[in-house]
Structure 1
Amino acid sequence: MDKDILTESLLLVDGQEHALTPRFYSILFERYPAVRPMFSADIAPQAKMLREAVVAVVDHLDDAAWLSGTLGALGRKHAGLGVTPPMYDAVAECMIAAMEELGGDEWTPEMTAAWTEALGAVAGLMLAGAEADQAEAV
């Protein structure tokens, strides 16, 4: 993964306003209204946690052990909340849509490709954690 492109593009779309995750949730709930009941009425705390998680993942791209452990645990937690594998695709789709919208004319196909790869890797590690937890329960 290209950490420079991910960092640069995250600064472009999130910057000082921290607009990315609130816009992401707006798009997610517009496109996938069935997931709305999984969240509290006040989405601000969740948006803040997601933003912190995105920043942490980008910061730790060179630390495979941190990524695997942290994202695996997060995947187990999300599975316990009812998150299913297809929901990961919806999240990636809506996150990239928010990024493209907020990035405007400065957003590039290379940024989309880098985030598609990164979000796919995140989903894979989270799903692996959830699957490992399910395997242990059997």
Structure 2
Amino acid sequence: MGGLLSSYWGYSGDDELDPASGLTGKQKRLVTETWGIMRQDPMKLGIAVMMRLFTKHPEYRSQFHAFKDTPHEDLPKNKRFQAHASAIANALSTIIDSLKDPGLLEAILISLGEKHHKRGQTVEQFNNLKLVLLVVFKEFLGSRWTPEVNNAWSKALDFVYSIIFKVYA
């Protein structure tokens, strides 16, 4: 499987640094392998991310017109909320799956950035989402979440955000 993952990312060595992403082969492998675990229940993952985000930043709910007036505890049962939660997990899957095609990845991320920028989301909100993602990923992975996995995901999200933030420049 290591060979498949290595060819997937385009780098065979754990220590080889991808100049575009700043990630080593090992970091890419860790992100891919752990995402394979987390993506098994996208709805649960997306709901956990959104609930954590709204708990930490309740002011963000006002930007989600479809469910902004739904009581916090009822959000997981709200179909519009579930749809957005699922969209988050699916977007993450699309991003991870597109890492092997830099041109496609950039197009996806620029489009994502444009859509969110038009809706008024800020760089600060994206950065707050990154912190939430790391906490939720740690919860989902349990003992598999090591400092090395945390570092790999942090760097991967920084790389993804560097492309999204081109829209904000």
Structure 1 counterpart of 2:29, one-letter code? D
Q: CA RMSD in A?
A: 1.4
Contact kept? 1:3, 1:58, Cα under 8 Å = no
Deviations 1:32-53 (A, max 9, x none): 1110111232311111111111
Q: Counterpart of 1:128?
A: 166
Q: Counterpart of 1:14?
A: 39
User: Is 1:84 aligned to residue 109 of structure 2?
Assistant: no
* Structure 2 unmatched ranges of 5 or more: 1-22, 68-79
Contact kept? 1:21, 1:48, Cα under 8 Å = yes
**Aligned structure 1 segments of 4 or more residues deviating by more than 6 angstroms:** none
3-state SS of 1:82 partner? coil
Please say which structure displays the higher CA radius of gyration: 2
Count of aligned residue pairs for this structure pair: 130
Structure 2 counterpart of 1:97, one-letter code? V
Aligned-pair identity in percent equals 25
* Structure 1 unmatched ranges of 5 or more: 132-138
TM-score, structure 2 length as denominator? 0.71
| TM-aligned CA deviation for residue 130 of structure 1 | 3.7
Structure 1 counterpart of 2:146, one-letter code? T
Contact kept? 1:71, 1:129, Cα under 8 Å = no
Q: Counterpart of 1:4?
A: 29
Q: Counterpart of 1:136?
A: none
TM-score, structure 1 length as denominator? 0.86
Q: Which has the higher helix share?
A: 1
